[in-house]
Amino acid sequence: MKTTSPIRPALTLLLVLTVLCGGAYPLLVTGIAKGVFARQADGDLIVQDGHLRGSRLIGQPFSAPGYFWGRPSATSPMPYNAAGSSGSNQGPTNPALLDAVKGRIAALRQADPDNHAPVPVDLVTASASGLDPDISPAAALYQAGRVAQARGAARAQVEALVRRHVETPAPAILGAPHVNVLALNLALDQAWPRR
């Protein structure tokens, strides 16, 4: 009785699966994504006055008093490193996390000493990816006084701008209302150019 070698069927299967899974499937999914979700598939880029300002999907560092600040980033080797998405992996009882949160609260209080409101948690804790581009409406409104003072604007006007930029997922079960920090800061620059 003659036995056949398993090598030929194995190599054939490898070739077929490589073409299907490594070529055809990715092309199909990319084509569907570009057809149905074109903006998101291309990175949801924000272009203003012919200049690329960033992506709505990746957070950016803002630290000037006249801008809204996003969530802290724990990516390495630098904050908001899109090539190194990661969290701090520090649990809620880790002393290093508690020290980092205390330091962030102190920085927020120092930047806006007249603000005695409770600090929203998303302004002092990093997201799991370290790249979260959104903050809660409460976190944006918490910063409105500092931003208004730095811009020479009325606080009520800045708060109204924040409220216009609150995005609520539809349906609401897909997430909480949020504010995209980059989009809000770009609108801020248009409404009250930096002095």
Tell me: the pLDDT tens digits for 99-136? 999 999 999 999 999 999 999 999 999 888 888 999 99
Q: How far apart are CA 26 and CA 44, in angstroms?
A: 20
Above 80 in pLDDT, residue 1?
no
The residue type found at 57 is L
pLDDT the model gives residue 84: 82
Phi-psi category of 187—alpha, beta or left, where left has phi over 0 and alpha has psi -120 to 50? alpha
Considering the entire predicted model, what is its pTM? Answer: 0.81
Q: How far apart are CA 53 and CA 29, in angstroms?
A: 28
Specify whether the CB–CB gap between 61 and 79 falls below 8 A.
yes
Taking residues 61-67, report their average pLDDT. 93
- Kindly compute the dihedral angle of the four CA atoms of residues 71, 132, 195, 141, in this order, to the nearest 10 degrees: -60
pLDDT the model gives residue 20: 96
Taking residues 38-60, report their average pLDDT. 86
* Buried-state track 108-138, b at ≥16 Cβ within 10 A, e below 16: beeebeeeeeebbebbbbbbebbbbbbbbbb
pLDDT the model gives residue 183: 95
Specify whether the CB–CB gap between 151 and 158 falls below 8 A.
yes
Tell me what percent of the residues of the chain surpass a pLDDT of 90. Answer: 61
pLDDT the model gives residue 2: 66
Report in angstroms the alpha-carbon separations of 152 from 117, 130, 149, 177: 21, 32, 5, 28
List pLDDT tens digits, range 70-107: 999 988 888 888 888 887 788 888 898 899 999 999 99
